[in-house]
Amino acid sequence: MFSSHSPVKGKTLDDIVDIRWQDGRHTKSRVTWYGDKTRAEYRLTRFGRKFPFLNKGSVGDLFVLVPTGRNQFDAFVFDSEDDIEAILGALGLDISDGWGVFKGGSLVSDDPAQCEADQILQFVQDHKKFPAGDVFSDKAVEIVDSCYPKLSTASVDERLLRSLEVEFRLFRSVESSICGREVAGPFGGIDEFLGVAATIMGRRKSRAGRSLENHVAKALERSGIEHDLRVRDVQGAPDLVIPGVEQYRDLKFPRNQVFVVGVKTTCKDRWRQILNEGPLVKQKYLLTVQPGISAPQVKEMIQSDVTLVVPEPLHQQYPTEVRPLLNSVEEFLDQVQRSLQR
């Protein structure tokens, strides 16, 4: 898809490729395979001076590369959160994946462990209609527990990410089974077809956010931390209040023992929403699986009394200068436990 050179250990091989960008510019860029020493990766480089899409502010943008011919590509960079979510929803990708490859319209991925595959197959056979989101999350945790026993001693962060991955594969399998019949038609017209497509995309987008909330709540439960999830009767409707709404409203309860937490799959633009959630607590926490946010945005969050919580394996995708400002999920849970035990 990217190069005429297969990945060969011990060699460095490159191609010059023509890329047409969304603003009409063309670049003669280079795709290089690096296989020497411990390296094993393809890199896309050489964009020319004043290239607008390669800068620190583009961290967290979505890059889409479309092969159009031999050594020819169309390329797009999306910085709007609405656009990113729409594209991920249309393709059926999860933001925590980091990347996805499509061939012939289908997602190309490695086969999961046989244990997981067997349980997913049985789950699909047992459901002829879409189950509730909580059912997906519960089954994903069950699969992780039974098929990945080594994760029982892994960090909260690793377990959280694996649970999200498994639920995504579970959801896609059910979707393929149920929606395959829906999209086969026949349709009474274009409006009917668009209605089915809109339903599928809407379901994909809403599932991702609720899935993360569910698995964060399960991590809190395993840690013995009381909480209220999806709070609707507090100003701003925060996603999580720890240890609960009762303590939040009791102004005699120490403020440093009350945590208002936003849980967002993406937060490039919408992180400011949490500033108005739970105003009785100044310090806010934002838990996200967004793989990378620009340094200025992270610093602005910190200056606005927002602590950013990101699963530890994703820290390496953030700018080096702001990584010390990030909390892992495990660090956050430890902080909560220490605070509540005082």
Q: For position 111, what pLDDT does the model report?
A: 47
Region of poorest pLDDT, from 117-121, 155-159, 178-182: 178-182
CB 43 within 8 A of CB 34: yes
Q: Which residues pair with 17 in a beta bridge?
A: 29
Which residue pairs from 61-67 have beta carbons closer than 8 angstroms and sit at least 24 positions apart in sequence? 62/87, 62/88, 65/2, 65/19, 67/1, 67/2
Tell me, yes or no, whether 27 lies in a domain.
Answer: yes
Q: How confident is the model at residue 109 (pLDDT cuts 50, 70, 90)?
A: low
Tell me, yes or no, whether 104 lies in a domain.
Answer: no
CB 77 within 8 A of CB 147: no
Q: Are residues 57 and 127 in the same domain?
A: no
Query: Domains in the chain: how many in total?
Result: 3
Q: Are residues 246 and 307 in the same domain?
A: yes
If one compares 180 and 23, the residue with the highest pLDDT of the two is: 23
Q: pLDDT tens for residues 44-99?
A: 999 998 899 988 888 889 999 999 998 999 999 999 989 998 888 888 777 766 77
- What backbone phi and psi angles, to 5 degrees, belong to 187? -110, 150
Tell me, yes or no, whether 105 lies in a domain.
Answer: no
Q: Are residues 119 and 189 in the same domain?
A: yes
Q: Are residues 304 and 241 in the same domain?
A: yes
Across residues 178-197, what is the average pLDDT? Answer: 78
The tokens 């959801």 sit on which residue? 171
* Closest listed residue to residue 263, CA positions, set 295, 218, 299: 218
Q: Are residues 266 and 210 in the same domain?
A: no
* DSSP assignments along 225-265, one per residue: ---EES--SSTT--SEEES-HHHHH-TTS-GGG-EEEEEES
pLDDT at 125 exceeding the cut of 60: yes
Region of poorest pLDDT, from 143-147, 244-248, 301-305: 143-147
Q: pLDDT tens for residues 19-49?
A: 999 999 999 999 999 998 888 889 999 999 8
Tell me, yes or no, whether 93 lies in a domain.
Answer: no
Across residues 4-14, what is the average pLDDT? Answer: 88
Residues whose CB falls within 8 Å of the CB of residue 139, separated by 6 or more in sequence, listed in order: 119, 123, 167, 170
Q: Tell me the CATH number at 188.
A: 3.40.91.80
- What backbone phi and psi angles, to 5 degrees, belong to 256? -75, 0
165 is in which domain, residue-wise? 114-222
Q: Are residues 268 and 326 in the same domain?
A: yes
**Encoded amino acid at 330, one letter:** E
Q: Are residues 218 and 239 in the same domain?
A: no
Q: pLDDT tens for residues 216-231?
A: 999 999 999 999 999 9
Helix 133-147 and helix 190-222, axial crossing angle in degrees, nearest 10:
50
Q: For position 97, what pLDDT does the model report?
A: 66
Question: What CA–CA distances, in Å, run from 287 to 89, 182, 274?
Answer: 21, 35, 11
Residues whose CB falls within 8 Å of the CB of residue 277, separated by 6 or more in sequence, listed in order: 234, 235, 236, 237, 238, 260, 262, 284
> What is the edge-to-edge ordering of all strands in the sheet holding 26-34?
41-45, 26-34, 12-21, 72-78, 62-69
Q: For position 185, what pLDDT does the model report?
A: 67
The rounded percent of the chain whose pLDDT value lies above 90 is: 59
Last residue of a domain, one of 53, 79, 105: 79
pLDDT at 113 exceeding the cut of 80: no
Structure tokens that stand for 160 in this block: 């959280």
Tell me, yes or no, whether 211 lies in a domain.
Answer: yes
The rounded percent of the chain whose pLDDT value lies above 70 is: 95
Q: Are residues 212 and 250 in the same domain?
A: no
Tell me, yes or no, whether 304 lies in a domain.
Answer: yes
Exposure b/e, 263-294, CB count within 10 A at least 16 = b: bbbbbbeebeebbebbeebeebbbbbbbbbbb
Tell me, yes or no, whether 294 lies in a domain.
Answer: yes
Q: Are residues 334 and 237 in the same domain?
A: yes
SS3 200: helix
Exposure b/e, 166-181, CB count within 10 A at least 16 = b: bbbbbbbbbbeeebee
Tell me, yes or no, whether 129 lies in a domain.
Answer: yes
pLDDT at 3 exceeding the cut of 90: no
CA atoms of 318 and 100, how far apart (whole Å): 19
Mean pLDDT, the chain, integer: 89
Q: Are residues 200 and 167 in the same domain?
A: yes
Across residues 235-241, what is the average pLDDT? Answer: 95
Q: Are residues 239 and 329 in the same domain?
A: yes
- What number of helices (H) and strands (E) belong to the chain? 8, 12
pLDDT at 318 exceeding the cut of 90: yes
Q: Are residues 126 and 173 in the same domain?
A: yes
